[in-house]
Amino acid sequence: MRSLLFFCCFILSAAVHAQTVVSGVIRDHRNKPLPGASITLKDTYDGAVSDSTGAFHFTTTEKGNLVCSITCMGFKTIEQPVSLTGTAITLNISLKEQLDELRAVTVTAGAFSTGARKGAVMSSLDVATTAGSNADITAALKTLPGTQQVGEQEGLFVRGGAGYETKQFIDGTMVNNFYNTSVPDIAQRGRFSPFLFKGTVFSTGGYSALYGQALSSVLLLESIDVPEKSEIDLSVSPLFWGVSTQQVAKDKKSSWGINYSYVNVGLYFKLVKQTPDYYSMPRYHNVEGNFRIKTKRGGIIKYYTTFGYNELGLRRPDIDSLYLKNAFGLTNHNWYNNLSYKEYLNNGWKLNMGVGYSTNRDDISQQIQDASNQPKQFDNSAFWMQYKNFRFVNRQDLTQTKIVLEKKLGGLSALRFGTDYWYSYNNGYYNDTLRKLDDHYNALYAESDIFLTNDLAATVGARYEHSSIIGKSDIAPRASLAYKTGKNAQVSVAYGEFYQKPENMQLYYTRQLGFTRAAHYIVNYLKMNNSRTLRVEAYYKKYHDLVKAVPVNYYYSTYDNSGTGYARGFELFWRDKKSVKNLDYWISYSYVDTKRNYLNYTTELQPNYAATHTASVVLKRFFTSIKCGFNFTYTYATGRPYYNFMLNNGKYNLADQGKTKDYNTLNFSMEYVPSIGKANAKSNIVLFASANNILGNKLIYGYNYSYSGLIKQPITPPANRGYFIGCFISWGVDRTDDVINNNL
Amino acid sequence: MKKVLVAFSILLSFAASAQTDKFAAAMQKNLDALEAAKTPADLQGVSASFERIAEAEKTQWLPYYYAALAQERIGFSDKDADKDKIGDKANQLLDKAEAIEKNAELYCLRNMAATIQMLVDPQSRWQTYGQQAQAALQSGMQLEPNNPRLYYLQGMSVFGTPEAFGGGKEKAKPIFQKAVDLYASFTPKPMYPNWGSKEAADMLAKCE
């Protein structure tokens, strides 16, 4: 018996004393030594951490068959069975890299993303504080490379593409009337405030197969989720006033909001002389509503609606006569709705759904008036004057659905596929002639992100589209590849085919048209950390099947797809928030060589909206001591070409051409935020003031020609300088500080 | 035979208490090592040791706590550290600790993890990580309104915020004062967190 006890004690002490030495070297997937990896005998305290040479060493008193696990952040854990007998064990192990969203390369060719997420170039606040933008998204984006400084028309003119070649999407669905209705020679603002959005992707080419019907560019806007806190906001300015509220449920799972604003520039136009004679001051009423609901599984349902009504009327001297005037009047109704649903499903599936409905009605009238503003009629002998008198009442409806399913395929790779259906209905009364269009547009698409390693990723996709009105289909392949060349640096390439339906104004005249087409080839280098971004991009774009006008007579043309064109160029972008303390600045430069033969062009010509060189410098500095921020934007562009095409014997000929003088503007804005620093401020006040073109440079966007071709008049902004002043107050209910103070 | 059983049961109970002693001894050894750690590599080693203890014990939150604390000390002291990686690692450890027990000490470390990640780019990150850091302190205060470390960290956050944004010495002073007062009456249990008292007093002096 005693011997048994003794035996037990012996075993126990033997167990205590028999030590096993475990040592080895840990390496990464490239066979480089990996420091900081943790080696653990599972369920024991024993183990070690690899040193700077990847080596480790420890002793253990454990015995028997155990599992040794090797872990390191960013690498896949390895579990290695070991048999501990007292004999030294050597473990030389290579760890495989784990694909990691934060460290992995992202495909960036062609795209600028904004917002708080990775790869962001601008935030929503940047949009508001870019001098010259006056919180218009499009104006702020025009400080990025690839865009043209077009001031006589709304839209983003990207890389040799016209404004209508850029399409805007909110939460995945296309927006039909993103801008207020066009007024001749005056660019209109976008309808949507930058503060509606948490993120923006501005793609200047080579974009994803999830989007279509844009030859040049897409602007993808993602609306904000449930806000942090409830608030009431008030905006006051000599130009407008607005009131809104946002109510967040106690559990922060849902919210709703409404907003009303009224703009009337009458007072401003009295103070700041405008070149046109506004007989009806521009007035805008706008009502918005929204709700957002977070779902149990982490998804979200968002609804946004806006109803806008505006009217304006202006008169300018008529170019064809000395004493007559040309009066333009507009009344617009616009109702926009967007419902989106994002949900996480089982087994790594994700659903993105969107439904949109919008209707827009423009009532446009143009009238030639005499010196006492009375309408003037013409007969056939002055047909070029006769056709200046018209009324056009146009209605555009768009109903659409989008469904995208996404599946994670291990690591970061993913497969996405989906379908779009758009039903557009248009009817336009031109004087008393009714023209109707309706189109069923269907698209099917699939796209896959393939991560070969953390450093090499590809996105490959294709899009099938069919439009019933032209009875044509197309298949658009898209591909991009990104390779990480160093810490924070990467090279991407992208290729894609892009199709776009002809414009409605052309389809009103003929449906014997096909899709217009562009191929994009892009190479991009990006080096970016939190405070600095360097981006260099070069591209080549080839246009096919652009719409050409086939004149029938002075006022009537039909169209075909015989147009061609190209654009090639390179762009630089540099942003730096670090080198000068508290100063944030960016510099953009774009070079474009582009020509196209479209519409009434006689041959391949540089389009009248394209300047060869464009550069912008944006500076922002906030002084915390005086609670003021000052922002400057300087933009330079070389002159743009202008043409006068005259109809002669059923053919256009180039009667005159020239180049405008260079474009130069310096814009300034400042904000004063007195409530900064008041820990318990119940209200937040921002005073904002801006002045555009403070040096008063004469800006000329192009020239209009008289019917005879003998008179040309410069197209200029309605006023040389622009000013804005406003006060924004919000009363928020934020309980963060209360809790802390109650505990003090 | 009876004797054998008695002997075995003695042996077993000895083994069981040896297990607790082993835990206490290992913890103490590593607490000393944490105290003595000077370089990021030292801290990495200590953190890994605590993590091994935690993984072996499975029911103790303290070793996870110290493993995370050692990570965060790297995050605050090592300029070359990948702060996002450290924040992620600390939060992984804290997730496991919170599965065992939710308490104010763990919220303190949540606050520090978020602060480390905010410091990567304060201007653009304070809205997300700054909020997270603040929320962690609030949750901690709801659980243990008299934990001095919560106020020390609150003070640090206010102290580090520019005056114009509602921070500064003046605002931080009463908070540090409260932390110092609470430290005076705070008696930690063995092995439980017991840091910050000297730092809080130093900071209070800096606010004078």
Distance from CA of A631 to the nearest CA of B (A): 17
| Residue A740 confidence (pLDDT) | 40
Q: pLDDT tens across A308-324, in order?
A: 999 999 999 999 988 99
| Residue A73 confidence (pLDDT) | 81
- Split at pLDDT 50, 70, 90, the class of A103 is low
Q: CA-to-CA distance for A101 and A118, rounded, in angstroms? A: 10
- Residues forming a β-bridge with A310: A284, A332
A73 neighbourhood in chain B, CB within 8 Å: 85, 88-89
- Split at pLDDT 50, 70, 90, the class of A135 is confident
User: Which residue among B45, B89, B121 places its CB closest to the CB of A49?
Assistant: B45
The count of other CB atoms within 10 Å of the CB of residue A168 is 23
**At A266, is the secondary structure helix, strand, or coil?**
helix
Mean pLDDT across chain A: 89
State the residue for tokens 């209705």: A181
Distance from CA of B138 to the nearest CA of A (A): 7
- Split at pLDDT 50, 70, 90, the class of A736 is very low
CA A82: distance to chain centroid? 55
Total count of residues recorded for chain A: 744
| Residue A72 confidence (pLDDT) | 87
Full-model pTM: 0.79
Is A62 part of the contact surface with chain B (CB cutoff 8 Å)? no
Residue of A nearest to B179 (CA): A744
Q: CA-to-CA distance for A633 and A133, rounded, in angstroms? A: 9
| Residue A10 confidence (pLDDT) | 47
Is A641 part of the contact surface with chain B (CB cutoff 8 Å)? no
> CA-CA distances (angstroms) from residue B49 to A43, A384, A697, B58, B105?
12, 89, 69, 14, 20
pLDDT at B11 over 80: no
Between residues A732 and A376, the one the model is more confident about: A376
Closest CA to A578 of B154, B79, B135, B121: B121
DSSP string, A175-233: -S--BPPPBTTBPPPBSS-GGGEEEEEEESSS--TT--S-SSEEEEEEE--S-SSEEEE
Q: Which CATH superfamily is domain A13-94 in?
A: Immunoglobulins (2.60.40.10)
Find the radius of gyration of the CA atoms of chain A. 32
| Residue B84 confidence (pLDDT) | 85
How far the first Cα of chain B sits from its last, in Å, is 75
* Sign for the pseudo-dihedral over CA of A600, A602, A605, A608: negative
**Are domains A13-94 and A111-742 of this chain identical in fold?**
no
Residue of B nearest to A628 (CA): B164
Q: CA-to-CA distance for A121 and A528, rounded, in angstroms? A: 10
| Residue B2 confidence (pLDDT) | 66
| Residue B9 confidence (pLDDT) | 66
Q: pLDDT tens across A175-216, in order?
A: 999 999 999 999 999 999 988 888 788 889 888 999 999 999
List chain B domain ranges.
12-122, 146-208
When pLDDT is averaged across residues A654-667 and rounded to a whole number, the result is 96
State the residue for tokens 């653990």: A40
> CA-CA distances (angstroms) from residue A548 to A391, A437, A514, A597?
26, 20, 12, 8
A679 neighbourhood in chain B, CB within 8 Å: 166, 171
pLDDT at A117 over 80: no
Q: pLDDT tens across A277-304, in order?
A: 999 999 999 999 999 999 998 899 999 9
Cβ atoms of residues A169 and A175 within 8 Å: yes
pLDDT at A33 over 50: yes
pLDDT at A742 over 50: no
- Residues forming a β-bridge with A336: A306, A358
State the residue for tokens 């017991």: B194
Is A36 part of the contact surface with chain B (CB cutoff 8 Å)? yes
Find the radius of gyration of the CA atoms of chain B. 20
Paired tokens of A259: 């907003």
User: Do the Cβ atoms of A43 and B128 come within 8 Å?
Assistant: no
Q: pLDDT tens across B121-132, in order?
A: 777 677 778 888
Provide, rounded to the nearest whole percent, the portion of chain A with pLDDT above 70: 92
Provide, rounded to the nearest whole percent, the portion of chain A with pLDDT above 90: 65
pLDDT at B26 over 60: yes
| Residue A214 confidence (pLDDT) | 96
Q: pLDDT tens across A529-585, in order?
A: 777 889 999 999 999 999 999 998 877 889 999 999 999 999 999 989 888 878 889
| Residue A213 confidence (pLDDT) | 96
Alpha helices per DSSP H over A303-434: 383-386
Tell me yes or no: is domain B12-122 CATH 1.25.40. yes
- Say how many CA atoms lie within 13 Å of A430 toward its Cβ: 10
A624 neighbourhood in chain B, CB within 8 Å: 162-165
Report the CATH architecture of A111-742.
Answer: Beta Barrel (2.40)
pLDDT at A104 over 80: no
| Residue B28 confidence (pLDDT) | 92
Largest CA distance in chain B: 81
Q: What is the ipTM of this complex?
A: 0.79
Distance from CA of B189 to the nearest CA of A (A): 23
List chain A domain ranges.
13-94, 111-742
Q: CA-to-CA distance for A707 and A704, rounded, in angstroms? A: 10
Q: CA-to-CA distance for A95 and A502, rounded, in angstroms? A: 55
User: Do the Cβ atoms of A627 and B165 come within 8 Å?
Assistant: no
